[in-house]
Amino acid sequence: MRVTLLLLIFLVAIAPVWAQSDSLVSVKGIITTGGSPLPGATVTLINTQFGTATDTTGAFQFIDVPTGTYQLSVSLIGYESYRKTVKLTAGQVINLSVDLRESARNLNEVVITGARATELRKSPVAIAVITRKEMNLNANTNAVDAVLKGVPGLSAVTTGPNVSKPFIRGLGYNRVLTLYNGVRQEGQQWGDEHGIEVDQYGIERAEVVKGPASLIYGSDAVAGVINFIPYVPRGAEEKINGDVVGEYHTNNRMIGTSLGLSHVKSGWKSAFRMSNKLATAYTNPVDGRVYGTAYRELNLSAMTGVEKRWGSSFLYATLYDNLQEIPDGSRDSLTRRFTRQVLESDEDDIKQRPIVPDADLRTYRINPLHQHIQHYRLFTRNRFIIGKSDLSVLAGFQQSVRREYNHPTATDQPGLYVRLNTLNYDLKYNLPIWKGVEPTLGVNGMYQTNKNLNGTDFPIPDYSLLDIGSFLFVKKTLGPVDISGGIRYDTRLIDWASQYVQPNLATGFDQLVYAPANPTAVPQFAAYRRPFTGVSGSLGATYNISERLLVKANLSRGYRAPNITEIGSNGLDPGARIVYLGNRNFQPEFSLQTDIGFIGYLNDMDVSVELFNNVIDNYIYQARLYDDAGQPVVIVPGNFTYQYQQSKAQLYGAEFSLNLHPRTSKWLTINNSLALIRGLNCNPRLIEQQGDAARYLPFIPPLHGRSEVRATFGTDKGQLTALYARAELDYYGAQNRFYGVDNTETATPGYALVNAGFGGTINNRQNRPLLQLFFQVDNLFNVAYQSHLNRLKYFEYYTASPTGRFGMYNMGRNASVKVIVPF
């Protein structure tokens, strides 16, 4: 580690010298298809930050490129990729002319999530890429929803329209690692009732790794990884570019706005974005407007940096501020209209709750019982070229501040108030290629501290966490076979001192202390210190039967240390209405997953089949707590009590896709996908006690199919271009295999949703885009349904209902319009 630090100091010290000695070259060209200009194609120099999109004439240009040898890549969805080695020497100007062939899929697309940038076709692990263009076609209420609509096997546990927790193949929470530009997202992921702190308008693309990725990222990636990649400025013109986004949804009257600016000059790149969203409570045909689901969200992001011959260095900063109401599902027993809490004691309050006026259901004003989530990031990404190798260094700081206001008689007093500070680091050294072997060494981890501030509920302790892991990753191509794999070792240390709860005379509520001064103080968290270690790894191969037919196989071992709530929780989570109790004797989870896939990219269709089987030792799940008499334990009246348990589990399933793109009707595309997941609880003692109710795991999505018919019109209609129309059928089967112990889950009937949309680009007289327009209607026929992964389905106060319906339903019909104005 000391040698590495000295090397970094040396590189930073001599970087300005290298920068001053750069010889800079210009690269320009025209991208066409069949001889016609191809606008919107992405042109990049691989492993650099030099990249741009072709204009309406198909032209592109890079200026001030350092001399050297590069791999130039040209790609666009619907066309085959082009790659060429270009050698830039001082004093020359490179002019290129490239003609792309049409193709429905891009086998050579490069993904960056992992140890080395690699082509999709060479990766034995299932990876999906969602571009900004695809995200714009859908009406999205948050960043997770923008991704999951295009990836079979990806789902989300939701609490209203703005709270989505991503699940990959039936696993979520701390088993899915979320990244923002390669930085692991840390924001109390164990919580049910807040989402991912990412600006959906600032994402250029997302890469989803389906399957254990512990080899590269360590703990918490046993299910997979979602990497949200923000926009990086491209182009060569020395002027300010940008765009304005405006969006409106009719269902919850959501208003979204975003302004982005960027600038490029002499290798220096800068960008800034400000986004804002606000929405009222959403509505459906069963509940009307669902009280407690309004929200306000503000995002700010900025980046700046430079790329020169010695490498690149970029600095990023983000701010996320979200006010999110807390739904509790309380209603009038006869009318089923929503009521609100007005007294502190839920037991005394339940019969006195007034009905919520219609005006309060339709307002943008956030009600007094809400949560306030703030998340800040500051990090730097650096790449230093050292001969034929390179060193990547990532270092960053992020802070998550989470408040939940749940006191109706003291609305300024937060019930939960926690602050999580995290220092992230990640070093990867790509060694020179030796006899076709591409080795990478890496070290990454984090240091984390959590602090309970001026709250009155203390579900988790103040704690510190130190995480470090190192890995070796290797790639090699043997004829038609691409092989990759490696091994990793992780250590995570979690510790905290003894903590007590005593009355706070100033507020009249409780407070958390280390040295109690009050004789009535009670122990809340006993001292704890324990290391968790684990070995993980993977080995896989892709066999290229031909240029368009591939078979993939991968065997991987994942590792996850228990999170803080699983081992240390002891208190009420107000937003979830559950008292959580941890288990201090837990062991790490270890998974062994096998993946087999077949992919065929044919002239008129694409077909893929992906099969997986995942066996998890020490799987951690929640179970209702009972006393010796067999009665449910009640610690806080009106709230359930759960304690975490551990057993063996198995998840298996398949994902299919069939995309038709007939050559005789190039304007037509028919996309189809189907995902099936089964989750088995392999705890024989629990199954013996509870029978079929305990046979399955919780939060397993049902059979999910999606079919889309899309028509695109390549011929310009006056000043209208890129016109499209689409219709979609989203089908969810009934879920009768659920975790039914203590009615934790119940059966969910199947349903089908019809969505439709159209849009295009309006150009000015100079044939430059004036604006892009997207119109979309989701749930066109206003179907009343409950998703099996909708937590609001289980928010119910009564055992009988005059309508026969329980819990809250998902969003009804929603029409949206989005306008993007570039400048």
- The residue written with tokens 């087999």 in the block is 596
The band of 35, judged by pLDDT with boundaries at 50, 70 and 90, is low
If one compares 336 and 31, the residue with the highest pLDDT of the two is 336
Would the pLDDT of 569 be above 60? yes
What are the structure tokens assigned to 467, written together? 């995480």
Q: Mean pLDDT over residues 699-704, rounded? A: 95
Q: Name the residue with higher pLDDT: 59 or 481.
A: 481
451 contact partners, CB below 8 Å, separation of at least 6 = 418, 419, 420, 421, 462
- Is the pLDDT at 445 greater than 80? The verdict is yes
| pLDDT-based confidence at residue 741 (cuts at 50, 70, 90) | confident
Q: Is the pLDDT of residue 425 over 90?
A: yes
**Torsion of the alpha carbons at 75, 81, 86 and 88, rounded to the nearest 10:** 0
pLDDT above 80 (res 714) = no
Per-residue pLDDT, 729: 97
User: What pLDDT is stored for residue 634 in this prediction?
Assistant: 80
CA distance 591 to 562: 14
CB atoms within 10 A of CB 306: 18
Tokens representing residue 379 in the block? 């990090």
Percent of the chain whose pLDDT exceeds 90: 54
Residues near 382 by Cβ (< 8 Å), separated by ≥ 6?
311, 312, 313, 314, 392, 393, 394
Mean pLDDT of 699-717: 87
d(CA 428, CA 633): 49
Question: What is residue 527's predicted lDDT score, i.e. its pLDDT?
Answer: 95
pLDDT in tens, 147-158: 888 789 999 999
- Host H or E run for residue 10: helix 2-20
pLDDT of res. 267: 80
Q: Select the highest-mean-pLDDT range: 352-356, 465-469, 562-566.
A: 465-469
Q: What is the mean pLDDT of residues 563-588?
A: 82
Pairing type for strands 668-682 and 640-660 reads antiparallel
Q: Which residue has the higher pLDDT, 145 or 728?
A: 728
pLDDT-above-70 percentage for the chain: 91
Cβ-based neighbour number of residue 221 at 10 Å: 27
> Which residues does 162 contact at the CB level (< 8 Å), separation at least 6?
141, 142, 195, 277, 279, 293, 295, 297, 322, 324
Q: Please give the pLDDT value at position 393.
A: 96
Task: Judge whether residue 13 has pLDDT over 50.
Answer: no
Q: pLDDT tens for residues 375-392?
A: 999 999 999 989 889 999
Give the amino acid at 296.
R
Look at residue 12 in the predicted model and tell me its pLDDT. 40
Report the Cα–Cα distance between both ends of the chain, in Å, rounded.
47
Across 23-50, average pLDDT = 75
- Which has more confidence, 483 or 636? 483
pLDDT greater than 50 at residue 609: yes
Report d(CA 655, CA 101) in Å as an integer. 29
pLDDT of residue 6: 41
Mean per-residue pLDDT of the chain: 87
Question: Region 84-109: what's the mean pLDDT?
Answer: 72
Question: Are the C-beta atoms of residues 469 and 218 closer than 8 Å to each other?
Answer: yes
Question: Each residue of 330-340: pLDDT tens digit?
Answer: 999 889 999 99
Task: Give the span between the Cα atoms of 601 and 104, in whole angstroms.
Answer: 8
Alpha-carbon distance of 381 to 379, in angstroms, equals: 7
Residue 417 predicted with pLDDT over 80:
yes
- Reported as a pLDDT band with limits 50, 70 and 90, residue 1 is very low
For the chain, domains (ranges, CATH) are 2-103 (2.60.40.1120), 121-822 (2.40.170.20)
Tell me the HSE value of 281 on the side-chain side, using a 13 A CA sphere. 28
Q: What value does the mean pLDDT take over residues 102-117?
A: 67
Q: Is 70 exceeded by the pLDDT of residue 544? A: yes
Tallying the residues shown for the chain, one arrives at 823
State both tokens at 38. Answer: 């191809």
- Of 603 and 609, the structure prediction assigns the larger pLDDT to 609
Q: How far, in Å, are 164, 165, 605, 794 from residue 789 at the CA level?
A: 10, 10, 32, 10
Label residue 9 by pLDDT band (50, 70, 90): very low
List, for residues 206-239, the tens digit of each pLDDT value: 999 998 888 899 999 999 999 999 988 876 557 7
- The partner residues of 119 in beta bridges, in order of sequence, read 110
**What local confidence, expressed as pLDDT, does residue 137 receive?**
87
| Least confident interval from 437-451, 560-574, 689-703 | 560-574
| Beta-strand runs (E) in 545-588 | 549-560, 570-573, 578-581
pTM of the model: 0.88
What is the residue-wise DSSP string for 264-316?
EETTEEEEEEEEEEEE---EETTTEE-TT--EEEEEEEEEEEEEETTEEEEEE
Higher pLDDT, 188 or 421: 421
pLDDT band at 108; cut points 50, 70, 90: low
Tokens matching residue 88: 């830039």
Q: Exposed (0-12), middle (13-18) or buried (19+): which is 360, by Cβ within 10 Å?
A: middle
Is residue 39 pLDDT above 80, yes or no? no
Q: What's the CA gap between 186 and 157, in Å, rounded?
A: 18
Region 589-593 average pLDDT? 95
| 43 or 337, higher pLDDT | 337
760 half-sphere exposure, CB direction, 13 A CA radius: 17
| Tens of pLDDT, residues 626-657 | 777 777 788 777 777 888 889 999 999 999 99
Mean pLDDT of all residues in 538-558: 93
Of 582 and 282, the one with more pLDDT: 282
Compute the C-alpha angle 643/325/134, nearest 5°: 95
pLDDT interval class at 459 (50, 70, 90)? confident
pLDDT of 15 strictly over 70? no
